[in-house]
Chains A and B, each alone.
Chain A
Amino acid sequence: MAIQVGDTIPNTVFTYAPYNPEHADVCSAPQPMNTHDAFKGKRVVLFAVPGAFTPTCSETHMPEYATRAAEIKAKNVDIVACVASNDPFVMDAWGKAHGVKDSVLMLSDANGEFGSAIGLVNDGTKMRMGPIRLARFAMIINDLKVEYLGVEPARGVTVSGAASVIAKL
C-alpha cells in the first residue's frame, strides 16, 4: 500500500553529487544521503520523476521547481529535492544541463529503495525503461512526516507540480 499523509517516510539512502560552487570544473564524488539524517527536523519538498531528461513531462517538471525554488524556500521550506530512478551521475548532469546549481538537490534512488518502500514505483519493462521507475509525485515532508502527497494519476504534471505544491505551503 502506498504511503499516505501523516505517515513517516522510510529510512533509506539516496546518492547524490554535491554542487560545488567554487569549482565548476571538478568531478563530484557521489555521496550517500540517509533520509532520516538529512530530513530530520526539516521541512522538505521532495518531488519524483520517472527519469531524468525524459521528454515533455520531466523536462518541464523539474525546471519549474528550480525556477521557483527560492519562492518555495521562502515559505518555510528548508530543502527542495528532486529524485529519480537514475544514477547520481545522470542526476548531476541533468541538474547541470538546466543550471540548477544548489536550488534543487538532485537525488538518485537508483535501486528503488525509497520508491519501493513508499509503494510508488512502476514497472517500465514494457516500454524498455527498466523494472523500477519512480512514479511522478510530490511530497511536502515535515520532520519526516508526510504533510502533502500529490501522485499524478495520468501523464502530465498537475498535483506534483511546483504550482500545486506552492499552493499547499
Chain B
Amino acid sequence: MTVTVVTDKSQFDRIVEQSPKVAVDFTAHWCGSCKAMVHVFENLSNEHSDVTFLSVDIDNATDIAKEYEIKSMPTFKFLDHGRVVDEVVGTNKHELERSMDSFTS
C-alpha cells in the first residue's frame, strides 16, 4: 500500500466515506519536521494494508486542513468510519507506531 496525496476536499470526503480505516498525514512542503516522518508513514502504509493512507498538504488543501483544525505539523489523524478516533502531533516515531497498532488491533 502506498500513501495517496489528496488536494481536493470532495475526493477526501469520498475516500473517508468508502474506507473504514483512514490514516492522514497533514503536512507542509516547507515544514522540516514533516520530512522526518514521511518515510515512517510510508513504511506503516506498507505494513498495514487494511488502512487507507492519505497525505494532505495544508497549503494545497486549506479547506481540509481547516475542517480538521490543523494548527501544527506534522499532525496524523486516525479516522474510523469517518470519525477521528486518535491523533498524533509531532515527530515521535514510536508514538505514531503505537497509535497505528491500537488503531489496527
Chain A residues proximal to chain B, CB less than 8 Å: 18, 20, 22-23, 25-29, 31
Contacts and interface: CB of A to CB of B under 8 A. Distances in A.
Given A25-B33, A26-B33, A31 B71 contact: yes
A29 B73 contact: yes
A27 B31 contact: yes
A29 B70 contact: yes
B20 interface: no
B99 to A, nearest CB: 15
Main secondary structure of the interface of A (DSSP, over half): loop
A18 B71 contact: yes
Interface in B28-75: 28, 30-34, 58, 65, 70-74
B73 A27 contact: yes
Interface residues of B, number: 16
A26 B89 contact: yes
A29 B65 CA distance: 10
Nearest to B72: A26
Given A20-B71, A20-B72, A29 B90 contact: no
A27 B72 CA distance: 5
A20 B31 CA distance: 15
A20 B70 CA distance: 12
Contacts of B74: 26-27
20 contacts: A18-B72, A20-B71, A20-B89, A23-B90, A25-B33, A25-B90, A26-B33, A26-B73, A26-B91, A27-B28, A27-B32, A27-B33, A27-B72, A27-B74, A28-B71, A28-B73, A29-B28, A29-B58, A29-B70, A29-B71
A20 B72 CA distance: 8
A28 B65 CA distance: 13
Q: Which 5 A-B pairs have the closest CB atoms?
A: A27-B31, A23-B90, A26-B72, A27-B73, A20-B72
Contacts of B30: 27
Given A23-B89, A26-B33, A28-B73, 20 more contacts: A20-B71, A22-B89, A23-B72, A23-B90, A25-B91, A26-B73, A26-B89, A26-B91, A27-B28, A27-B30, A27-B31, A27-B32, A27-B74, A28-B71, A28-B72, A29-B58, A29-B65, A29-B71, A29-B72, A29-B73
